[in-house]
Structure 1
């Protein structure tokens, strides 16, 4: 018999048969997948979350790449801040292909008595749009939309501005010192994404109209973008690199920011990757939580196969062969769950494109991503293996008699070394893949450490609860006495239930606190700290006059004003920024242009932490003060040199000191503050803030905006509340996506909890039969089980509240860099709901058990 089960030499003519282990595994699977519903759901949910997020991310990235020319408006784009390109620079660009230009800036649209509003002004030339189509209502050619009729130029407008200022098509508004006529509403703008987040509705005019408005003053915050459309026979990716290098050689100090169709919006692409990583970690959380459900299901599966395992062993099957048979079964079933998850995940981009494609602000190109799907499948397989090998390996060394006795007195022993090694390898592979594929490895390592810590701590909590229950005095009443015994008896549900429920409550509490803190930070804290207004592009010659106007308009207001220019870091310690690899939370400083200023004394809201501030009358070498955290992150020290490009000139300055900046105040803050002599004589404008003494008053704010726009038509006024609402809209969409992904993880938690209770069905059935035979009533048994589940639920909820609060604090304060408030109301409700669900699920299962007749089971004991 032993030789038969171990696999004797194949008989003649049967060499093509499957291996014995696989044949036995498949034969047992003929009975179906009963009992593996939760197993399948846990694996499928986790794999679907990971594969779906990865597929959507790839679809968005490919959509950006495929629509790169449309988004960019050409093959290449060269941007300058503050100034137009010189004739020579335009000639350098135009020699490579067809050239078109647009200008973007923020401005005030003044509608007279109807008020004024901030707009994102975009001025285009006759070639616009070079790629794609501007869709308007009524549909009109761009040239006809923007042409001058009866001395008044035309404009296309976002419908939001029409509604905000109670305007209609055909009305006129004042833009700077010029009148423009609103001739059409913008329905679709081909290059809208490239402009980033707008704080106001779009207003489209011609470049000639922009020049007539008087908004183009020396130092005005305007971005000029020159779009280059290469000849069709010289527009390959290699040609892009060649052209970029040639233009850099011919105009080395132009200071422009360069993009090409292959990276039309690199910042947006990186944000997609970052957000995808976060959602992938949420999906991985669902998979790991589901792994507990896998372990519970496998444990219940092994319990249900005791007689079969005992029979196989009594017939001579070695332990390794028994484990192999059931491991093959488990992995085949896991394969079914993985396939379901992959199918659902792969379909998500197509569903998203079909249902929301037109509403999405970014292009999506639904695609099947084999690499990402393969990675999700690997995650699922490794999770199934890691959580199944322990319960399966335990059956290897248990004797036949022990298998039968295990029903009432399970042995506690570690699996053999080979199974422990397999477990370690599977977990190690999961960790390695998670870190290797992470966009931010620090975040991935933090997640892994947190997950491992949660498992260890929950195991400690379970052991502690069992030890405490064992030492407590025995109650006199039968129901509490039975509940206390159930917590610590052999084969108790305590370890699996605490792990399942603890993970779910920790996740619920952490998500609740993160959600509450993000909402509070965006809707409550920031407006209290922030000024009421920002004023941009205040002409240097009118700065004092503007201060007097604002003081008269808002008596008692706190007014801050500083000179402001835009500049781009081009070198640090002599190294071009393109060659510098900075951490993700620092790299934004190197990307594009930054606001810069000069000051005689230390700016308000900053604290000097090292070095010395320069003298008010400093006339020596150029000096700069740098934000401490960012400077240290870039490896800078006092005395090091940086080079910035401002107004087309490269300016080098030496770091004189580091200062700590309070960025969250939304006041006037700069990464770099230069000594005044650095920009002596350079054209610039001023930036001002105004904080009203009485706080936010919509009517008063509207009057200030209206009157300021009349007196200073070239000054851009930004109401902070409006800017925050624009950001809130974006953040709300992100929160919605996070909640959607988190729902999957929470669903997995509920499934795992149900699985943990189902895994104890056999032991509960045995207890119920014996106790009912001894005279226990159904009501008394239900009370005992309710007390047991309630006690475990409350103890685990206390742990979950502490662990979830800690996790929420770490994420909010460390990763999100926001103030943390322990908003426990939502967290307590979440934990209480989880305990209620536990008791309900437990009693529902117990009711089914108690409804069984004892006789059929007593005959088989």
Structure 2
């Protein structure tokens, strides 16, 4: 006979800490107590692990939106300050110091960041309350708006700090304009980002990272995301340099004609040979407009680098988010229902195994029935050291935890071995055991350790041969240990099982089993899956909303990229128009340039985003995105085509070429 008690602690503000303190006090007051004492948080670890898988997808989307929003801030600030270069140069000419000028501009940025972040916080809080109301009927949860405000304040702080972090480089670059630009013309002025701006960027970025690591539930996941973004930016930087080198090599084969000489004299930098020459690749002549696009891509002031960094990183994260969301929804809606048994059985006595099979097969002769022995035991010693006699209270509590033991033949969950290896199926040597990774890590176990389990007061000595991990959403029994065949035979008195048959036949099988063996508990998984699908449908709606926000942020970032490069592109087109180039030809050049950017960024995003999502899905969420890569390809192609296509049309509408502009600007 087992007795179970539930104790509610007094302090509702910190229930987890209070419950743990009460448990420790009980253990200290009764050191010989043999009962297993668990807090609610510890009993919910399995559910938390499953929810953590879903949370990983949400974290990826949230981090991606945060980073993409920062890129939007950088490009927007750069586009805004690009139009204020004359004013900044004038203020510097009048004697305004850089610090005051920077403080003046930064104050404007902070004000806008606070307003934008506040709007985002209010919308996010409203969405959270709406989502809580939507699932409150299926999940026992209390809606407490007061608990959302700390998270809202943290979100506001994240928004402002992210905006300031990404604004520093653009601000420092704009403040590098000199008063001499008022005489030469600010449009063609070469700007640089000073070292101080990069130091400030690094400082605020470090604050954001520390805050990020302190606030996320899984710091390792946050660190992995940061490393992935750094690697992503490094790859994009290398891709940018490679494309510039490739464009330059394509232009080296140009034939320098008289038109090229004239253009070179007009441009003053020898670029005319590359612009007007005949580039050959494999003996075939490239279109003139493509030559001009290639020539523009490897110029020092080309918008290629900011466009590739912003568009490439945003698209890559968007592809990764798409794959994670589609894989998660497929797992919940298709994979789990397809692999789940129709019936799950508990408390099956050994002599009732045949009765169980007969009852199921009477409903469906083709039904598959799998059973596994279930033995409860406690790990009481490791390498000869008794855990109950340890001075560490945590190890004493571990020795009182009951663990579910079974055999390899009963591996219904098909666990994955990560360290060590399974023993052969015909193994007949000394007892071996495979432990779950969470249990092994909590007890600092290693392959080869000698373990002793206490089962019904009798010891069982085994050697640790393997450490395995669960399949998360697809796990059913969550066994803590699997013992080699034969070792548990003296202790086996009950079993668990699963039956695979059509859902419409499961109810009849359940009724037959209840009549033949009333003590066997049976559960129809269709009922649970139906509720799960209803919950996950709403969760999927939430994921779609979050992913849609991320997509909208990406489109805004791409729009800011176009805006940031518009002034320079219009200036370059005006120079070419003054040298005799036709407007129709310049438009085709623009289309070629944007088409090249779309192809390069979409291709990179598909490869890098798929790799990032695959790593997260397989190593963190235990899912396989195979068969869903098309969704990432479609997202990359669609978003790049829409954003860059609309950007090109917008730029063409703004392109009012007038050579007199060069005289007015001093160019």
TM-score range, shorter chain: 0.7 to 0.9
Match of 1:255 in 2: 35
CA distance in 1, matches of 2:470, 2:59: 29
Change (3 A) 1:674 1:858: same
Aligned to 1:824: 629
- Closer/same/farther in 2, CA of residues 856 and 405 from structure 1, 3 Å limit: closer
Q: How far off its partner does 1:560 sit?
A: 3.5
In structure 1, C-alpha distance between the alignment counterparts of 2:136 and 2:337, rounded to whole Å: 34
The 1:229–1:761 alpha-carbon spacing in structure 2 relative to 1, beyond 3 Å, is: closer
| 1:295 alignment partner in structure 2 | 74
Match of 1:670 among 475, 479, 482: 479
What is the CA distance between 1:466 and its match in structure 2? 2.5
Aligned match of 2:168: 389
Given the two structures, how large is their TM-score scaled by the length of structure 1? 0.62
**Aligned counterpart in structure 2 of residue 316 of structure 1, from 79, 95, 104:** 95
Counterpart check, 1:658 vs 2:470: no
State whether residues 501 and 834 of structure 1, in contact with CA within 8 Å, keep that contact through their aligned partners in structure 2: no
Unaligned runs of 5+ in 2: 252-278, 280-284
Q: Of 796, 806, 809, which residue of structure 1 is paired with 2:601? A: 796
Counterparts in 2 of 1:280 and 1:535: CA distance versus 1, 3 Å: closer
Separation in 2, partners of 1:630, 1:666: 14
1:379 CA displacement: 2.2
1:378 aligns with 2:378: no
CA positional deviation for 1:575 = 4.1
Once the two structures are superposed, residues 164-203 of structure 1 have per-residue CA deviations (whole angstroms, 9 ceiling, x without a partner) of xxxxxxxxxxxxxxxxxxxxxxxxxxxxxxxxxxxxxxxx
Q: Contact 2:71–2:557 at 8 Å: present in 1 too?
A: yes
Residues 412 and 460 of structure 1: CA distance in aligned 2, closer, same or farther (over 3 Å): farther
Checking the alignment, whether the CA contact within 8 Å between 2:86 and 2:186 is kept in structure 1 is no
Q: What is the match of residue 520 of structure 2?
A: 715
Which residue of 2 is the match for residue 537 of structure 1? 347
Q: Does 1:764 align with 2:544?
A: no
On the 8 A contact 1:624/1:657 being kept in 2, the answer is yes
Contact 1:408–1:490 (CA under 8 A) maintained in structure 2: no
Corresponding residue of 1:120: none
Q: Which residue, 97, 120, 124 being the options, matches 1:341?
A: 120
2-side partners of 1:732 and 1:567: how far apart? 39
| 1:394 aligned counterpart, secondary structure | helix
| 1:685-704 aligned within 5 A | 685-691=494-500, 697-704=502-509
Q: Separation in 1 of the partners of 2:618 and 2:20?
A: 42
Look up the SS of the partner of 1:819 in the other structure: coil
Secondary structure of the structure 2 residue equivalent to 1:535: strand
Q: Which residue of 2 aligns with 1:595?
A: 404
Residues 636, 804 of structure 1: alpha-carbon distance in 2 compared, 3 angstrom cutoff? same
Q: Aligned pair in 2 of structure 1 residues 448, 580: CA closer, same or farther (>3 Å)? A: farther
Q: How far did 1:815 drift?
A: 0.8
For the structure 1 residues 393 and 575, does the alpha-carbon distance in structure 2 shift closer, same or farther, using more than 3 Å as the test?
Answer: farther
8 Å contact kept, 1:624–1:655 = yes
Change (3 A) 1:680 1:257: farther
Q: 2:434 corresponds to which residue?
A: 626
Tell me which residue corresponds to 1:468.
246
Per the TM alignment, residue 844 of structure 1 is displaced from its structure 2 partner at its CA by: 2.8
- How far, CA to CA, are the matches of 1:525 and 1:350 in structure 2? 30
Q: What's the counterpart of residue 511 of structure 1?
A: 321
Q: Following the alignment from structure 2 to structure 1, what is the Cα–Cα distance between the partners of residues 602 and 173?
A: 30
In the TM superposition, 1:722-761 aligns within 5 A as 724-761=529-566
Count of residues in correspondence between the two structures = 617
Secondary structure, counterpart of 1:363 in structure 2: coil
Q: Does the CA contact (< 8 Å) of 1:526 and 1:666 recur in 2?
A: no
Q: Deviations over 1:718-769 (max 9, x none)?
A: 4556555554444444444333323322222111100010112222332444
The match for 1:494 among 300, 304, 317 is 304
| C-alpha separation in 2, matches of 1:230 and 1:303 | 61
For the 8 Å contact 1:668–1:689, the answer to whether it is kept is: no
Residues 609-664 of structure 1, C-alpha deviations (whole Å, 9 max, x = no match): 3789999798xxxx6623264565342244443556x7xx6665433242466855
1:304 Cα deviation (Å)? Answer: 1.4
Inter-CA distance 316–635: structure 2 relative to 1 (3 Å threshold): same
Answer yes or no: is the 8 Å Cα contact 1:536–1:717 preserved in 2: yes
Alignment CA distance shift 1:476-1:808 (3 Å): closer
2:276 paired residue number: none
Matched, 1:429 2:237: no
Tell me the SS of whatever aligns to 2:421: strand
Structure 2 match to 1:70: none
- TM-aligned CA deviation for residue 856 of structure 1: 6.7
Q: CA RMSD in A?
A: 4.4
Are residues 739 and 574 of structure 1, via their aligned partners in 2, closer, same or farther at CA, if it must alter by over 3 Å?
Answer: farther
Q: 1:650 to 1:317 in 2, by over 3 A?
A: farther
Alignment of 1:48-67 (within 5 A): none
Contact 1:479–1:781 (CA<8 Å) still a contact in 2?
Answer: yes
Contact 1:773 1:854 in 2 (8 A): yes
Query: Residues 522 and 326 (structure 1 numbering): CA distance in 2 closer, same or farther, change over 3 Å?
Result: closer
Which of 418, 421, 425 lines up with 1:609 in the alignment?
421
State the alpha-carbon separation in 2 of the partners of residues 834 and 408 from structure 1. Answer: 30
Following superposition, the deviation at residue 423 of structure 1 comes to 1.8
**Alpha-carbon distance in 2 for matches of 1:279, 1:527:** 23
Distance 1:701 1:275 in 2: 30
Per-residue CA shift, 1:437-457, capped at 9, x if unaligned?
Answer: 332221111011011112222
Counterpart Cα distance in 1 of 2:434 and 2:372: 17
Contact 1:497 1:756 in 2 (8 A): yes
**Cα distance per residue 1:771-815 (max 9 Å; x no partner):** 555665554433322221111011111100011011111111111
Per the alignment, residue 809 of structure 1 pairs with: 614
Specify the SS of the correspondent of 1:472: helix
Structure with bigger helix share is 2
User: Does the 8 Å CA contact 1:529/1:666 hold for their aligned counterparts?
Assistant: no
- The CA distance in 2 between the partners of 1:277 and 1:264, in whole Å, is 21
Maintained 8 Å contact 2:138/2:535: no
Alpha-carbon separation, structure 2, partners of 1:635 and 1:798: 44
8 Å contact from structure 1 (residues 379, 430) kept in 2? yes
Equivalence for 1:102: none
Shift of 1:284: 3.3
Do the aligned partners of 1:624 and 1:653 also contact (CA within 8 Å) in 2? no
Change (3 A) 1:516 1:602: closer
Q: Is the 8 A contact 1:253 1:650 kept in 2?
A: no
Specify the alignment match of 1:840 in structure 2.
Answer: 645
Matched with 1:445 is 223
Asked if the contact 1:462/1:494 (under 8 Å) is kept, the reply is yes
SS at 2:200 equivalent = helix
**In the TM superposition, what is the alpha-carbon distance from 1:393 to its structure 2 partner?**
1.9
CA–CA distance in structure 1, aligned partners of residues 490 and 287 of structure 2: 91
Secondary structure in structure 1 of the residue aligned to 2:374: strand
Partner SS, residue 294 of structure 1: helix
Structure having the higher strand fraction is: 1
Structure 2 CA distance, aligned partners of 1:412 and 1:254? 73
Q: Distance in 2 between matches of 1:550 and 1:264?
A: 32
- Closer/same/farther in 2, CA of residues 371 and 521 from structure 1, 3 Å limit: closer
Aligned equivalents of 1:378 and 1:554: distance in 2? 60
Matched, 1:367 2:146: yes
CA distance in 1, matches of 2:115, 2:69: 15
Partner of 1:286: 65
Instruction: Output the CA distance in 2 between the equivalents of 1:350 and 1:520.
Output: 26
Residue 304 of structure 2 corresponds to residue 304 of structure 1: no
Say if 1:375 and 1:523 are closer, same or farther in 2 by CA, change over 3 A.
closer
Q: Is the 8 A contact 1:299 1:759 kept in 2?
A: yes
